[in-house]
Structures are given as C-alpha cells and as structure tokens.
Chains A and B, each alone.
Chain A
C-alpha cells in the first residue's frame, strides 16, 4: 500500500471568499445589532412609558392632595369655627367700640372696600358720579 503524504500540501487562501465571508459576518452582526438596538429602544420606550404614566399618576395625586389641603385650610379658616373656638375655649368676647384703640394700623385705603385690586369701575347712566362725602 502506497503511503501518500499530503502534509506538505497547503490550501491556497482564497482572499476573495474570505472577504466575502467577513463581509457577510459583519453584515450579520450589524443587522443583529440593529435589531438589538431597535428592540432595546422599543423596550426602553415601553419602560419609560410606564414611568411617565406612574409620574403622571403621582402628579395627579399630589395635585389632588393640594386641592384637599386648600379645602381643609378653607374649612379651618371658617369664621364660624374660629368664633366658636375663641368664645368657647379661650373665653374671648367681641370688643365694644370704645374698647378698641387703633395705633397706626392699616391705612383706610387698604381695607377691602377701597382696595384697588378689588375696586370696580362704574359708569353713571345719567347725572354725576357720587361725590365723596
């Protein structure tokens, strides 16, 4: 039996095919990365969607809470409640006019009737504007 030694034979490198192979491989990796990126973006989008919705819900709750606080504040500032507490718990009474001495205090224009913010324009259909008595 004749021994054939092929060990010295070297396969000739086909540069063209190798390039094609690497190109294909690179393209495959690119496509894979692109798909991965797309999927990652999609899942991130969904994840952020959940977060945004959660924050929106929290915002709504806080806004609601704010409304509740305002309502509670308004209820606590009810003149009837304060008057009742002042009389029943603190023994306070309304001062008679002669008991009240004003030192400085709010200028007359600052009161509610004269406040420029809340003053109202008026026009007179006929006749004069009422004089300042």
Chain B
C-alpha cells in the first residue's frame, strides 16, 4: 500500500471550514467581550451613581455618636451627676415587612401602646422611635426577636448617684439630655459636647469590618463649690426639723464667708433628679434663689450696722424702748415682750423692734435704703444658679410713713435666702460683700475655662463689721439666739420671725417664717449658715425652729472641716445618744436601690450592675444587723491618731506611678480622668493621716 497523494479537492473545503470556525469563534468572542464591555459601561458609567448609592446604603451606615455630657463633681471631686450609654430602639417603617405584627411583638416587650406604635409605623416612612433609653433587659429581648427594620441607637442617660442630694442645685435633664434645672441648665452649653459620627462598613451578616470615626467633642466637667458631706449634714438637719415642725418647707445654706463659696444648699421638700417627674413643682423650686420672703428680725442688722457706720450710735448707747411700743404714722408697733432702756447690743440681743425703728429714724429713708442696697438687697447676687429672684425693695420715693419702721425690722422688704447669707458673710469676713459662687471650675482634660474671679465690694468698714460681730455674739450668748450656742465653738447670729402675707396682701397671723442666720466660730468665722423654716405648726419662732438646726449643722460642719475649737469650756448641751431606730422611709428607699437589690443595666456586662436611681424597691436589711448597745455618752473619739504622711507632688506622673506611690504611703487614691496628673487634692507637701483620700486629676497633655 503506497502513500496516498493528498486530494487537492478535499483539502480546500477543510481549510475553508476551519476558517469559518475561526471566524465564528472570533465573532462569538467579540460579541462576548462586547457584551461584557457594554454591561460594564452600563453599570460603571450610566448607572454608576445609582448603584453606588444602593451599595453604600446596603454596606455603610453613618451613625451619630451622642456627645458625652460632662460630669458634675462636688468640691472633693465626688461625682454628683454622670452619664452612661444606654440603648434606644428605633424602626425604619419602610423596611418592615409586616408592621402590624412587629408592633404587636414590640409593644408588650417595651411596654408601649400597641395602637400608637402601629400608627407610627403607618404614618412615618424612614424613621421612628419605638422607645428611647430602654433598660438592658428590654434591649436584650428586642434583640432576641431579631426583627428586620428594627435597630438600636446608642444614647446616653444621666444618672445622679447621690439621689436627692443637692437636687435643686444640680438640677436635672430632660429626655433629650438638655439641662432643665439647676447647674445642668445653667451650664448646659458647656456640659453638653458636640456629637461625633461613625461610618460603619458592614457585610451581609451586618457585621462591621471597617469604621471611620469623626470624633465629637465631649462635654466639659463642672466642679461645684458644694461639699457633699456638708450638703448631707444640712439636708438631714433641715429635713428632720421640717418634719418635726410640720412645716411647708425650708431652706438651709452654708457658705464660706471668706470667699463667697456655697458649701451646701439644702431645700425641703426635695426630689430625686433620677425620677424628676415624680417630684412636685414645689420640690423643684430652689428656695435659696427662687423664693422671696420677709426676713423679719435677721434684717435688723442692716439698720444697726448703718447707724454704727454713720456714727449715729455706739454699742453701749442706751436706747429707750418705751415699754416695747412705738407709734409710727398712726400705726402701733409692738415688741414681742416689753422692753425698756437697753443698750444697742442688748436691744439687738433681745430683738427689740422699737429700738431698731428708733435707730432707723435717725438714719432716715435715703440712708437706710442706701445701706440696704449696699448689702445687695433688691438685686441679684450673681450666683450661677438659674431662676434667681431680686427680692422686693421699693425706693424711698414709694415708701409710706410706716415703711421706714417696717423696713428696718424686715417686714416690708422681701429677700432671697441667698441674699441674707451673703449679707451676714460680709459681717463675718470684715465687711466685704462677696458674690456667692457655686461653680468652682469648668474643665475638659487639662483645659480649664476662665471663670471670673469672685467679685466683692466693701459694704461696711472693718471696724463696724467687727463691732457687729461682737453684738451678734452677744445675741447668741445672752439674747434670743441661745439655742444656737455650739459645743466647743463660739458662734454669732440672729433669730428672725416674720408673718407671711396671705393672698389678700395682709399679714397672716397664723403663718410664720422662722429663721436663724449666723456664723461660727465667731472669732474666726469659717462658715455662715442660714436656716429658714416656712410655716411651722406650733412653735414658730426662729429661736425655736431654726436655731437648733443651725447648731446641728454648725457643730458637725466645723468638726468635719477640722476647725480648731475656740471655746472648749462651753458645752451647752449634754450628749444624749438617741436610741437607735430603724432608718426613716426615705433612707430605706434609698438603701433598697443599692447593689443588693438593684436593676441591671449592662447587657454586655451583666456582672456589673450599678444601682438604679429611679426605682425604689423594697429595702433589704441584713438579718445579722444588730444595734450597738454600748454606752456612747462616755465614749471618746480620738481623731488623727495615725502616722502623718506628706502628700507627694504628682504633677506629670502617670496613673500607675501615682497608684504605686499612694499604695506605698497608705493613701486612698481616687483618680479622675486619664493621662498624666494635672491636679491633686490635698495639695503636695501637706501632712495628712495615713488612709486619707487623695484626688488626682489626670489629663492628656
């Protein structure tokens, strides 16, 4: 079999078929690539914007990060108000497949009205709140439902860890985290920060794999001049007296007379800012600045001080009090008891209206008015608290014939309690009327806002102030203010009792305001204290209802401040330990909110469950609690028995180093902020007992 010669006729069709096939494949490839290119062009150019938007909507979420509201501290850097993150539930109705069913599922879990929720889903399209600031338990249960179109937004909630302590001064915030009262309102602009934003990229399972953050500005922190211990002392003493006297309310203020700083500002009735809706309108009123009342006899010191300053009298001058009766412009004014010839000192000690009016007449309308104004009556004190009243003070041109008499004994002028404290502080500090302050510092990290320095002006000469101080000491030693005598300390002050004016503008003979205001120690005043009891039932004189409260507050405060006793020989009242009784209802309620029975609010961290500050569950008293039955009357309390250590200068130190040093020295460290130390209290170099709490403020440099 020989080699077959290729057939030229059959080779030709093979080649042409091959070429056709190549052509077909080429055309198909071209069409394929052309189709892909066309689709690419369509998606990447024509539909680019729309598709990009859809992709971003699906993969990226921008959420607004609520700014953290600044912390409010007391002067010892104990937090009085702080914010925590909590969940809020919202829905995108357009994404809800079955809004009716979603509403019926969410309503019982979140305890909201189902019909209202359904209505919201129908009327709104892209966003609606389901419930804001839910509890961790509620959030967890909603998460378990795994509903499409239902989301969570992180928000902050304000907590007041001390409950009703200084409630009127601190204030409270509304649902939108805006301050609605007190310092929360007054410093809202500074305390509220600016919100930040976070862009989240999520996968199909909605897990975040990338985030870009635009940081907001956190709110500034505020340090008040209030001391929580003194505040508690004042509130407790005031609340007990208001309850005992069945009074409508009361106010107590403690001020440092040398700087004008308010150390305590107690109001009764009061409220819990964690649940401010539950409080009455009366309890929200800050009586210290927002309540005007007729001060009564505590106002008399203006007349006496003015007469002394104008050299119209001397403390020793004898004044005829006319048996306790004087007629002025046809009206007869009586002393509480018949008084005859008294020295100016005794006249004030016995609170003679007649003697005071006689001094006022020597001064005349204009001079008396000028001194009243010089003591700040009739104008706002300038304290940082909102809602401050000016008081009521008519100019002499509008006075009647009896006005000078009424004014001099504190019946025709109306003042705020804070004006009175400021006035007595001026006597205590040597004649300077300081603007009262309640904000000590506003800071963020190491940056401190420049606060105006406490302004003051001289209202009295130092000599007159000293004379008045001695007269007021006599009032306590031998006058109407004996109930304000302190154990171990000298004190000075004045009682006051005024009738209230009824709705018809007439003096009501059954409604009174009893007050006492004074300072201690009288020789080196460290605190000025005002106590006002509104409408007490039964005993109503300031000496009976207010002076004992002054004594309680003053003794405990001076002891707490470690003020040396200047009169250790005087122990006016013996120790009579009260039998231990169960805590009152308010205390019970508060105890119940503490960790033993508290509400969890940390789904992510169930083991950490801070106290709930709004609910008041049943108190838990451990069964082993047994009252101490020892004899306390003969006990002696020895303070400062431990070794003294020198406080180091922590400036620029890291937290770890500060902690190590404090541990070494046996100091109780309390760190505020993070970064390097920028401030401390007590200051470096001071000798303090081992175990003293040291506050160190840290900030990033």
Contact = CB atoms under 8 A, between A and B. Distances in A.
B582 interface: yes
Contact of A98 (B263, B458, B564, B571): B571
A98 B432 CA distance: 33
Given A75-B161, A91-B627, A105-B689, A97 B487 contact: yes
B453 A70 contact: no
Given A64-B602, A67-B84, A103 B638 contact: yes
Contacts of B652: none
B611 A72 contact: yes
A91 B628 contact: yes
Contacts of B263: 113
Contact of A105 (B455, B562, B575): B562
B432 A88 contact: no
B232 interface: yes
A61 B604 contact: yes
Given A72-B610, A98-B575, A108 B644 contact: no
Given A61-B605, A120-B453, A127-B457, 13 more contacts: A68-B602, A79-B162, A81-B591, A92-B628, A96-B487, A97-B565, A98-B487, A99-B635, A100-B636, A101-B637, A106-B687, A124-B455, A131-B462
B446 interface: no
Contacts of B431: 127, 130
B564 to A, nearest CB: 7
Interface in A86-124: 87-113, 115-124
Contacts of A87: 580, 583
A23 interface: no
Contact of A123 (B76, B453, B578, B621): B453
A78 interface: yes
B695 to A, nearest CB: 8
Q: Is the interface of A mostly helix, strand, loop or mixed?
A: mixed
B608 A69 contact: yes
B689 A104 contact: yes
Interface stretch (A8-16, A30-38, A49-57): A49-57
A123 B635 CA distance: 46
Given A68-B610, A103-B640, A88 B621 contact: yes
A56 B689 CA distance: 42
A112 B76 contact: yes
B664 interface: no
A99 B559 CA distance: 11
B601 to A, nearest CB: 8
B210 A107 contact: no
B602 A65 contact: yes
A75 B686 contact: no
A93 B628 CA distance: 9
A20 interface: no
Contact of A84 (B210, B432, B590, B601): B590
Contacts of A105: 562, 639-640, 689
B611 A75 contact: yes
